[in-house]
Every structure is written in structure tokens, then in C-alpha cells.
């Protein structure tokens, strides 16, 4: 398991691809339904760039301390 | 669910109405994160907006909210602040709303230095009505009303409100969302008229026509064209060509309008009492 948790709310995700494009560690992909999904959690560095650039509040990164 | 979402957004309005990858959502995120960090209570905040996609923020954000007429958010907000000076008053406006039809209200609100925080979401276009050019569309860009490119120069809103008397002025972008959140937090804590311009992408009204086909292209454009004030101070004219500045332009103190007004009112009442 990685240090971080990533939660996507598929109902809120509008498949814009922003989180995928700007993740510095290629953790995320768009799945077959076009929704953001986690491909490589181990590589996540917890920078939260995906979360803060999501226009739709659809992705949330949980911290090391279980925040 | 993070506090800024569960506390400050109307969850029954999600997913919200904005298009995929719209910059307004990122700016709203920076606003609610800044408020969450400052720990403001919902009842202590009033958010006033005008008309436009960016002004629809009021359907989504969960404070005391008031969506007003096009360009007039600052006038209604001035009324709120004068009546309830203890409240935190925030205006969220678009480039059309705030610099076009509402431009006159903006300069006079800045001149008075009333304690209102204004966030101007600048996507360079009238998004809601179909991509007509606004006073902030850069010259030469294609709009639904400018098939061969706009022929007018655009305003620099930060310079404009600075000249008008605003005591806190800053600019950020949706791409630089962490910095934007910090600038908004400083604006909210400032006593006086504070103004933050947030450069945002409208992929539908602007990007599609101007060779920035996706939200990702538009965010990359922001990344490549923004330069911090500190970096710009050391850059050559060639390096600065085509760039715009981000960061804090003004942070100073001056008498705040509602303070001045209520103090004058107190003195006048005192005089009446003494005369009796
Ligand atoms: C008095 C008046 N004139 C015109 C309109 C039509 N109108 C609605 S939204 C809008 C433009 C909004 O543009 P902007 O403020 O840039 O916001 P955006 O949609 O880009 O976020 C206009 C002209 C109106 N609602 N009221
Ligand atoms: S940025 Fe948000 S809306 Fe866009 S694909 Fe990622 S999770 Fe979905
Ligand atoms: S937190 Fe950072 S590293 Fe982790 S998925 Fe999001 S953008 Fe990628
Ligand atoms: S038209 Fe533009 S500003 Fe309006 S919601 Fe769509 S992308 Fe956002």
C-alpha cells in the first residue's frame, strides 16, 4: 500500500483529464468510462495537485496521517 | 470528505453546472480552501455575485449568498457592508460582469476602500452567453463577436483598481492554484478593499476558438505565460515578452469607508445628545 489514499467521486468527475495530465508521478488515468482512476498509488507523493486543480471537487487525496 | 467541500459547498448542487475543466471551479476551490484555513463560520460570510458562469458560484457555495443583477454585485455588497460591518463580504465576478457592465462600480468601490474582497474570475470572454469578447479579451483573440480577432486593447484590471485606490491587489491563475489560495487568504484578512484577479480557462467560449482545444492546453498556456513579480524583476525584456505578472501588487493601509462612516455617525449622535 502507498502512503496516501486517493478517492474519486465518479458522479462528480467530468472526465476533463486535468488531474491525469498534471500528476507529476503518472498515478492517475481515465478509465473505460472516462472517469479519473488510480493506476499506480505507490508512486503518489501526496502533492495534492490533482485535487486542487480539479474543477469539480471530484478527487481527494488523504494524507499520511489519515487526514 | 474534505471540510472545504462538506462545510462550504451545497452538496445537493453537485455535480455543478460548469463545463468539464472550467477554470471557475478551480478558483472556487481556492476560495473555499482559503476560507477553511482561516476558519470563518458560514454565518459570518456573505457572498455576492452578478451574472455569468462565474457568478453562478452562488448556486454552489454555501454561505449567505445573493446573486444580483449583471455588474451590480459591488453595489449590493456595499449596502451589506455598510449595514453589517462585522460581516465578511466577498464578491465573485466575471471579466464581463466586473470590468464591462460593472466596471464603473468597481473603480468607485476601490476608491472608497470599503472592506470587501473581490475575486474577479478572468476567463477573457463572456462565457455564459456564448463567447462574445469582453474588455479583458486580449487583442487579436477570436471571439463569437470577433471572427478575425478583437481589434481593441484590453484592460489590466490590477493596474486599474490600484490606480483607483484599492489597498490590496493581486493576480493568480487556476494553474497556480496553491499560490492563488494564499493570495485570496491575504485578501480576506486585509482590512479595506481587496482585489484578486484569477486567470481562468473557458475551454468552450475561448479555448476552442483560440488554439487551446482542451482544459489541459489552457492550463499549460497559463503556466507558460505567467511570471511571478520576483522572477520578472530579474528577467530580460525578451524573457518578459508576451508574459503577464502574478503575485501581490499592492498591500497597504488606508482609512476604511464603513469605519469612517460609522465614526462620523457616532460623532454626530454625540453632538445631538450634547445639544439637548
Ligand atoms: C443587463 C444585462 N445585460 C446582459 C445580460 C446577458 N449576460 C448574461 S451573462 C453575460 C456575460 C457574463 O460574462 P462574464 O462576466 O465574463 O462571466 P462568465 O460567464 O465568462 O463567467 C451577459 C452579457 C444580462 N443578464 N443582463
Ligand atoms: S480533474 Fe476532476 S473532473 Fe477532471 S478528470 Fe480529474 S477528477 Fe475528473
Ligand atoms: S497527489 Fe500528486 S502525485 Fe498523488 S495522484 Fe495527485 S497529483 Fe499525483
Ligand atoms: S462556458 Fe466557459 S465559463 Fe461557462 S461553464 Fe463553460 S467553460 Fe466555464
pLDDT at A2 (0 to 100): 74
Nearest ligand 3 atom to the CA of A51 is 6
Residue of A nearest to B4 (CA): A57
Nearest to B254 by CA among B196, B189, B192, B163: B192
d(CA B147, CA B145): 6
CB atoms within 10 A of CB A20: 18
What ligand is nearest to the CA atom of residue B14?
2
ipTM score over 0.85, yes or no: yes
Q: Is B57 exposed, middle or buried (0-12, 13-18, 19+ CB in 10 A)?
A: buried
Reduced to 3 states (helix: H, G, I; strand: E, B; else coil), residue B249 is: strand
CB atoms within 10 A of CB B276: 4
CB B136 within 8 A of CB B224: no
pLDDT averaged over chain A?
94
Q: How many structural domains does chain B have?
A: 1
pLDDT at B63 (0 to 100): 98
pLDDT at B189 (0 to 100): 98
pLDDT at A1 (0 to 100): 62
d(CA A52, CA B178): 7
Position A63 confidence tier, pLDDT thresholds 50, 70, 90: confident
CB pair distance less than 8 Å for B29 and A22: no
Out of A30, A39, A45, mutate this one to test ligand 3's pocket (max ligand atoms within 8 Å of CB): namely A45
Ligand 3 contact via A18 beta carbon (within 6 Å): no
| B226: containing domain | 2-275
pLDDT at A65 (0 to 100): 60
Nearest to B185 by CA among B63, B48, B90: B90
Reduced to 3 states (helix: H, G, I; strand: E, B; else coil), residue B107 is: helix
pLDDT at B252 (0 to 100): 98
pLDDT at B251 (0 to 100): 98
Ligand 4 contact via B22 beta carbon (within 6 Å): yes
pTM above 0.95, yes or no: yes
pLDDT at B67 (0 to 100): 96
Nearest to B216 by CA among A25, A20, A51: A20
**Tens digit of pLDDT per residue, chain B (276 long)?**
898 999 999 999 999 999 999 999 999 999 999 999 999 999 999 999 999 999 999 999 999 999 999 999 999 999 999 999 999 999 999 999 999 999 999 999 999 999 999 999 999 999 999 999 999 999 999 999 999 999 999 999 999 999 999 999 999 999 999 999 999 999 999 999 999 999 999 999 999 999 999 999 999 999 999 999 999 999 999 999 999 999 999 999 999 999 999 999 999 999 999 999
CB pair distance less than 8 Å for B219 and A54: no
The grid cell for B175 is: 494553474
The fold for domain A4-63 equals Alpha-Beta Plaits (3.30.70)
d(CA B152, CA B140): 8
CATH code at position B104? 3.40.50.970
CB B210 within 8 A of CB B139: no
Would you call B221 an interface residue with chain A, using a CB distance cutoff of 8 Å?
no
- Can you name the residues that pair with B93 across neighbouring β-strands? B120
Amino acid at each position: 500500500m502507498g502512503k496516501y489514499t486517493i478517492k474519486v467521486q465518479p458522479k462528480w468527475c467530468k472526465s476533463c483529464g486535468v488531474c491525469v495530465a498534471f500528476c507529476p508521478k503518472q498515478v492517475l488515468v481515465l478509465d473505460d468510462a472516462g472517469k479519473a482512476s488510480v493506476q499506480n498509488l505507490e508512486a503518489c507523493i501526496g502533492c495534492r495537485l490533482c485535487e486542487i486543480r480539479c474543477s469539480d471537487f471530484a478527487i481527494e487525496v488523504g494524507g499520511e496521517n489519515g487526514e | 470528505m474534505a471540510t472545504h467541500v462538506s462545510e462550504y459547498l451545497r452538496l445537493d448542487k453537485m455535480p455543478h453546472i460548469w463545463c468539464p475543466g472550467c477554470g471557475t471551479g478551480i478558483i472556487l476551490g481556492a476560495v473555499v480552501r482559503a476560507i477553511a484555513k482561516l476558519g470563518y463560520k458560514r454565518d459570518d460570510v456573505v457572498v455576492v455575485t452578478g451574472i455569468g458562469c462565474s457568478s453562478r458560484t452562488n448556486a454552489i457555495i454555501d454561505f449567505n449568498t445573493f446573486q444580483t443583477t449583471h455588474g451590480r454585485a459591488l453595489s449590493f455588497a456595499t449596502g451589506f457592508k455598510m449595514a453589517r460591518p462585522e460581516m465578511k463580504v466577498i464578491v465573485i465576478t466575471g471579466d464581463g460582469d466586473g470590468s464591462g457592465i460593472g466596471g464603473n462600480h468597481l473603480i468607485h468601490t476601490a476608491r472608497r476602500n470599503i472592506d470587501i474582497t473581490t475575486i474577479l474570475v478572468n476567463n477573457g470572454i463572456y462565457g455564459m452567453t456564448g463567447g462574445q469578447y469582453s474588455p479583458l479579451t486580449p487583442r487579436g483573440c477570436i471571439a463569437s463577436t470577433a471572427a478575425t480577432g478583437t481589434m481593441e486593447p484590453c484592460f489590466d484590471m490590477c493596474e486599474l483598481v490600484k490606480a483607483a485606490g484599492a489597498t490590496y491587489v493581486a493576480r493568480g491563475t487556476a494553474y497556480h492554484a496553491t499560490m492563488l489560495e494564499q493570495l485570496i487568504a491575504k485578501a480576506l484578512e486585509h482590512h479595506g478593499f481587496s482585489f484578486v484577479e484569477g486567470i481562468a480557462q473557458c475551454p468552450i467560449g475561448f479555448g476552442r476558438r483560440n488554439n487551446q482545444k482542451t482544459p489541459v492546453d489552457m492550463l499549460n498556456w497559463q503556466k507558460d505565460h505567467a511570471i511571478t513579480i520576483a522572477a520578472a524583476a530579474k528577467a530580460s525584456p525578451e524573457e518578459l515578452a508576451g508574459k503577464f505578472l502574478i503575485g501581490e501588487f499592492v498591500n497597504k493601509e488606508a482609512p476604511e469607508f464603513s469605519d469612517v462612516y460609522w465614526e462620523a455617525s457616532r460623532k454626530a449622535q454625540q453632538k445631538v445628545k450634547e445639544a439637548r
